[in-house]
Chains A and B, each alone.
Chain A
């Protein structure tokens, strides 16, 4: 199996209000089709790590490789393009563009990538929505659907460009257990059927236990790695 994501000695400092090391020489890797969760107490740096891995935060030491490419030191423009193509995002809060339709929300990253025609993208988007069982909501405004549905739309959006990896920052943190299970099952299927790698930051131990591997963090370091597979 090939390595999708690799972090080498990633460190980060917060300079305000006082110099403080959030991440201390983090090194780990994720393989293709692996479903990994990161756990840890608030403030241990797990979200900070995720934002570095997601290329949105570029202010760190160490090196980061994703899908075989070294991302450290690339320009913001190149990283945006890379993010668009290779990384899918799911956040704790649903983060849809509320003025657009559900379908448009899903289509936007693909339209930005511009690799396919608008027709094809629309068909793909409907397909992804169908996988998540919400194709009937496609033409509603994003602000008009329920929280669980929104999260599934966000997942459909994360999938639209067939990314190398999906990252989630507590994607179930804001959902009831039924919806959380739903989201987990979707992730699991993607990981098993589509060989998609997933990296999910979570507080939810039940959720984490069902993943292939748990990376436990504390005080900016990896303090343990448990495997359930």
Chain B
């Protein structure tokens, strides 16, 4: 299109002749896009941090035996009373084993399932931490450290020592930060725990664990799977929990239903356990996009205004262009290309501004008890946001430019020339 070059030439000359207004219009877009990038990067960074806080370390499906009453009471089985209203008072929970029956074959079969990313067994043991004459309530979980690290980012919560140290030391323990604090213990010290059967076991502290949830850190500690089994005096078949991580979280609900149905176990899926998180994320995203779109609409009105004013100023020029053989379409393209140039340059500048401020934010110190491994503000540098930003900028300026441009297209040169 040979026409295009000359049209672009005219529109850039027009833009440069009103450099101040053009700059202000472009800065409107810059501000809108920049804010969008900053907001969305920061918000999604924060979102994924908060989600990660819970979701990353929460298994997608947790399988365990829950203590509960029998759904079916003996009286229900008697055919004589089937049509009656049976009231049983003071039902007690059924005596049930904590261990998962046939846990190892179940783990094997889960591992073979292609929807599953990983499976790791846990053994929960109730203990007392012994410190002088005081005994502190405690809960020790036996874990497979390697699995926990690669599936649930376990290493993010080890503030001293490392998970590998637990692997090397079969008597090692990763002590909860709250416990360590209360008992004035540090890495390398020894701690004695009393098991429910009364035995005293000395353990070596190889690391300190801090989840950020104080209640948890005051009781929870981690040992090797074998050690936990020893603490409660059970053999290596004893597994109390199976944690499953899936490739796709959306499979959690149907899979957990299938598992609890098939194996008569309780299978808790992540959506049920943490329903509020997804809602929170969705609402935060909604707010981010609403604010950004509002800013862009404001910028769009700015462009609309300036182009409109521009067209009134340029009535004569439009009439000349038309009289000398430029068609209405050419004139429309002149003004639309002005809007697009403003949008493109403003948008590009906005991306740079947004990126710059995001980098600044990502280097700003952000230290909190709750998030031991986080030192700076979380920012998500997803390139998709930048693509969205440019598309936003160009489409909103196109819309803002289209209406004034159509007006210019329809200007009748005769009226202008005669009107002088």
Which residues of A are at the interface with B, using a C-beta cutoff of 8 A? 47, 51, 54, 56-57, 76-77, 80-85, 89, 91-93, 95-100, 104, 108-109, 111-114, 157, 161, 169
Which of A82, A93, A114 is within 8 Å of B3, CB to CB? A114
Q: A91-B417, A95-B320, A99-B17 are in contact. Are A111 and B329 (CB under 8 A)?
A: no
State which size class the interface on B falls in: 20 to 34
Contacts of A114 in B (CB 8 A): 2-3, 6
Who on chain B is nearest to A163 by CB? B325
Say whether A56 contacts B325, CB under 8 Å.
Answer: no
29 contacts between A and B (CB under 8 A): A54-B323, A56-B322, A56-B414, A77-B327, A77-B328, A80-B325, A80-B326, A80-B328, A81-B325, A81-B327, A82-B325, A84-B326, A85-B325, A89-B324, A91-B323, A95-B316, A95-B320, A95-B323, A95-B417, A97-B317, A97-B321, A99-B14, A99-B16, A108-B321, A108-B324, A109-B325, A112-B3, A112-B325, A113-B325
Complex alpha-carbon distance, A157 and B321, angstroms? 12
**Docked complex: B306-331 residues within 8 A CB-CB of A:** 316-317, 319-330
Tell yes or no: B45 within 8 A of A by CB.
no
Given contacts A76-B328, A77-B327, contact A99 B322 (CB under 8 A): no
**Main secondary structure on chain B at its contact with chain A?**
helix
Interface: B418 (CB within 8 A): yes
Instruction: With both chains docked as a complex, state the minimum distance between the C-beta of A46 and any C-beta of chain B, in angstroms.
Output: 12
Contact B323 A83 (CB under 8 A): yes
Contact with A along B408-420 (1 / 0, CB 8 A): 0000111001101
B84 to chain A, nearest CB (A): 90
Closest to A83 in B: B325
**For chains A and B in complex, what number of residue pairs have CB atoms within 8 angstroms?**
77
B102 CB–A CB distance under 8 Å: no
Given contacts A95-B319, A111-B6, contact A84 B325 (CB under 8 A): yes
- B13 interfacial by beta-carbon distance below 8 Å: yes
The smallest beta-carbon distance between A28 and chain B, in angstroms, is: 21
Chain B minimum-CB-distance residue to A88: B324
Q: Is B418 a contact of A47 with CB atoms below 8 Å?
A: yes
Question: B: which residues have CB within 8 A of A?
Answer: 2-3, 5-6, 9-10, 13-14, 16-17, 316-317, 319-330, 412-414, 417-418, 420
Cα-based distance from A82 to B325 in the complex (angstroms)? 7
Please give, as numbers and ranges, the residues of chain B lying within 8 Å of A109 by CB-CB distance. 324-325
- B414–A112 touching, CB < 8 Å: no
For B15, the closest partner residue in chain A by CB is A99
Give A54 to B323 CA distance when docked, in angstroms. 9
- Which residues of the other chain, B, contact A97 by a CB distance below 8 angstroms? 13, 317, 320-321
Contact A84 B414 (CB under 8 A): no
Q: Min CB distance, B406 to chain A, in Å?
A: 14
In whole angstroms, how far apart are the Cα atoms of A83 and B317 in the complex? 17
CB pair B14–A76 under 8 Å, yes or no, is no
CA distance A112 to B325 in the complex (A): 8
B residues in contact with A95, CB < 8 Å: 316, 319-320, 323, 417
Cα separation A104 to B17 with both chains bound (whole Å):
15
Q: How far is the CB of B310 from chain A (nearest CB, A)?
A: 12
Nearest chain A CB to B322 CB, angstrom units? 7
Report which of B13, B326, B414 forms a contact with A57, defined as CB distance below 8 A.
Answer: B414
Task: Give the Cβ gap from B246 to chain A, nearest Cβ, in Å.
Answer: 60
How far is A57 from B413 in the complex, measured between Cα atoms in Å? 9
Q: How far is the CA of A112 from the CA of B16 in the complex (A)?
A: 21
**Residues of A contacting B320 in the complex (Cβ-Cβ under 8 angstroms):** 95-97
Question: Nearest-CB distance from B320 to chain A (Å)?
Answer: 5
CB distance from B337 to the nearest CB of A (A): 15
